[in-house]
Amino acid sequence: MTSGKYSALSGAIARDQAIAHISANLANVSTTGYKRRGLSFEAMLRGEQQTNKAKGINYSRVKTVNTDFSPGPLKHTENPFDVAIHGEGFFKVQGPNGALYTRRGDFVTDQAGILRTSNGMMVLDNGGGPITIPNADTSQVSIGESGIVAIVNADGGADEVGQVAVVGIDNLRNLRQEENTMYSLGEGAAETELATPFRLVQGSLETANVNMTEEMTNLIDNYRAYENYHKVIESYKALGEQQDALGTLS
């Protein structure tokens, strides 16, 4: 009986973790550049261990937490500092402890005209330096498909001031999430040149790649499974109390 109780407990814990991740996905459905996270499960015991030691009872746990880096839909904003990546790749920004990577392109400029993310991190150019836009509040700014940032003059000419870095990652599974939309290089991940062409879309943002209907369905399924595991645990608890009561009759 104990084996069954712990099997139900392990299942409930795994489903509770799944509910937490699905809830986070739903909470970020409107977050620019957010990437959906999902879980996969595995049996803790296999083969002879499960057959002999656990008598066929399965103990489950979360195997991996996966980030879905598929692109989200683009939303047109007409803001010249909003930029979306059409294709693969990440913007490279300067984090507190080194380079970070993101698909979130709702950029702003600070008082010095330096291009930054909405949470204040410096957007890096191809050389790893800042991009400074003179008179950002009054200038007409152009961000081309290749990332070149230019100030458009009154006569129609353009003065280049930098190029937004867009880089590839050779092993997306080893990216480490730092914030909802920011990632750092984990062990086994490395920055690389993009193997496929990309283009930047000025005046647009990439929205979250979260399907609300699918997430709600997953949430309901996992919550029902959690409730069923909880009922099994309560049943084992009731049986244990009855056994204790019977044991005191003598």
pLDDT for 93-117, tens place per residue? Answer: 999 999 999 999 999 999 999 999 9
Question: Residue 1: pLDDT band by 50, 70, 90 thresholds?
Answer: very low
Task: For residue 1, give the DSSP letter.
Answer: -
Of residues 76 and 52, which shows the higher confidence score? 76
Residues 6 or more apart from 117 whose CB is under 8 A from it? 93, 102, 104, 106, 107, 108, 123
Task: For residue 49, give the DSSP letter.
Answer: I
Q: What percentage of the chain carries pLDDT values higher than 90?
A: 58
Residues 6 or more apart from 96 whose CB is under 8 A from it? none
CA distance linking residue 17 with residue 20, whole number of Å: 5
pTM score of the predicted model: 0.80
Residues 6 or more apart from 163 whose CB is under 8 A from it? 125, 126, 131, 146, 147, 148, 149
Tell me which residue of 118, 139, 121 sits closest to 130, measured CA to CA: 121
The pair of three-digit structure tokens given for residue 184, joined into one six-digit string: 């750092």
Task: For residue 69, give the DSSP letter.
Answer: -
Mean pLDDT of 45-61: 53
Helix/strand/coil for 108: strand
Instruction: Identify the weakest region by mean pLDDT among 161-170, 212-221, 230-239.
Output: 230-239
Q: What percentage of the chain carries pLDDT values higher than 70?
A: 82
* CA–CA–CA angle 31, 167, 124 (5° rounding): 75
Considering 57-61, 169-173, 203-207, the range whose residues carry the highest mean pLDDT is 203-207
Q: What are the phi and psi torsion angles at 43 (to 5°)?
A: -80, 135
Q: 64-88 pLDDT, tens per residue?
A: 778 999 999 999 999 999 999 999 9
At residue 110, the pLDDT reads 94
Q: Average pLDDT, whole number, for the chain?
A: 85
Question: Residue 120: pLDDT band by 50, 70, 90 thresholds?
Answer: very high
Q: What are the phi and psi torsion angles at 238 (to 5°)?
A: -65, -40
Question: Residue 220: pLDDT band by 50, 70, 90 thresholds?
Answer: very high
Q: Where are the domains of the chain?
A: 2-69+210-247, 74-206
169-207 as b/e: b if 16+ CB within 10 A: beebeebeeeebbbbbbeeebeeeeeeeeeebbbebbbb
